Structure 1
Amino acid sequence: MSTTHQTAPTRFVDADGVTYAYRRFGRAGGTPLLMLQHFRGNLDNWDPALTDALAAEREVILVDYPGLGSSTGRPARTVAETARQIIAFADALGLAQVDLLGFSLGGFVAQDIALIRPHLVRRLVLAGTGPKGAPGMHGWRQDIADRARADEPGGEDLLYIFFAHTETSQAKGVEFLQRFMRREQDRDAPSSLTARDAQHDAVLEWGVPDHAALQRLTGITSPTLILQGDGDLMIPTKLSHLMAGLIPDARIRLYPDAAHAFLFQYPGEVADEVSRFLS
């Protein structure tokens, strides 16, 4: 039986004094897809319906940032530092080139990696994310922030933050909660409050209004796919259009009746879209 999201063992690799926890599964050969997670997210916060669908076409690599989940080290307080940490992880695995998918905070990190190490990134997928310094990026609206930064966020908090406040989207959210809790063996460690606070600093620093920072996007040379829900409650959807206009080789797709975690609401459709783009 082939390895899946549920059965892939947690592996470890050392780089620059950090032991990175990661999982690697799917069809070997070709360019692997490295996936970067959202605020406070660990290896188990990915939707197995999404990762397994992607892994049917290519090798998928999931990783915990330093100081989060089962990775050791100090959590970074800036996106730029996180980007260099992930580059060190890629070097430690001997990855000469990857396709890169960044979700939310992971999308911030992915943008910086594509600028710092352009030859590493063959193709770039930016999901539910936004550009540095853009209007509306400096922190989240209060109801979202309160739930995202809760000491122990529960299922109701995830449904509120991640899914549109409609009956249909919330029902899809409940299905996601059932899927991502299904793995019972070798589950990842929860992320600490120290990691939460460090990542929140990074999110706020990234969002400080800075019109000039938007010009950085014109330096991204990787073909880029931008995906988002049409009513994101965490990062304004209009910023996906802004990124699509500034990144030289970019295309955009919005998903209806969806908020921040559109990729967990439409895992099959998103996997198909991403696979077509990467192929």
Structure 2
Amino acid sequence: MHWCTTLMALAAPVYALPFSLPFGSTSTPQRAVWLWNSDIIQDDVATDKFFSVASAPSNKFTTVYALIDRDMGNEAWQSFIKKCNSSGIAVEGLMGDAQWVLGGTTEDGPTFQHSLDWVKQYQESAPDNAKLAGIHLDVEPWGLDGWASNKGEYVDSLVSIVSRATEAAKPLGLPVAADLPFWANTVDCEDTKLDACMAKRLDSITFMTYRSTPKDLLDVAHSVLNTVSSMGKKGWVSVETSADVGEASLISYAGKALSTLAGDLTNIETLAKSHSGFSGIAVHDYKSLSGMSG
């Protein structure tokens, strides 16, 4: 779902790498991965492979953004989340559709309210060791054809969606996170920019900072990490591993060795810790990552 963002990001401004900021994160950086093909949790062999990949020394994932409501019953989700929790992996319920900003959905996708209702019924019925750890929104109106001419309206709708999500999550005790492009600091939102506007409402933000080297990634992450740090909020940076994106050599680790990715993730963590709001790195996504080798 992120290919539109990566294409648009190529023309966005680049910022200097923050080698000497006066504040820094004292917490241990975390690792996360998007799991769009969450139907694998119904297959024992596929699930075993997921845990093998997630726990590998090169990955050590602590969070998985797992796409919810794939016509699976609660039992499958409870089993998967129990296994994740026992392995030290938190599961955030991933939901999103760009069409939600228009008040609708794609032909084969759930509505926003349907997704919220699913989370509510699941969280209220699941035992403590099988509950979701949060809601993770991926709603990308910048991927719609009308983005350029309807930017203000779409941003207002996105704000409404985030507000509804936080309102629904509060009685369930769930934090809410969302994916944003690294150039969110260039988009107007209320009396500020989109990164700060969303940070006011969210518990954390995962910025889609897709680049194929640590320096290039942190160049584009600098401004938005400064924003969340100054607001006392948390921000994640992210890497792409899929070959199915435009300008893949610039924004993706596809075709590179897994050892190269592992080394770069460590370097990114070391450099990004100069930002107090830096939480960790998210990898997009499990399907393409699991196919990497070397």
TM-score, length of structure 1 as denominator length: 0.35
TM-score (norm. length: structure 2): 0.34
Point out the structure with max Rg over C-alpha.
2
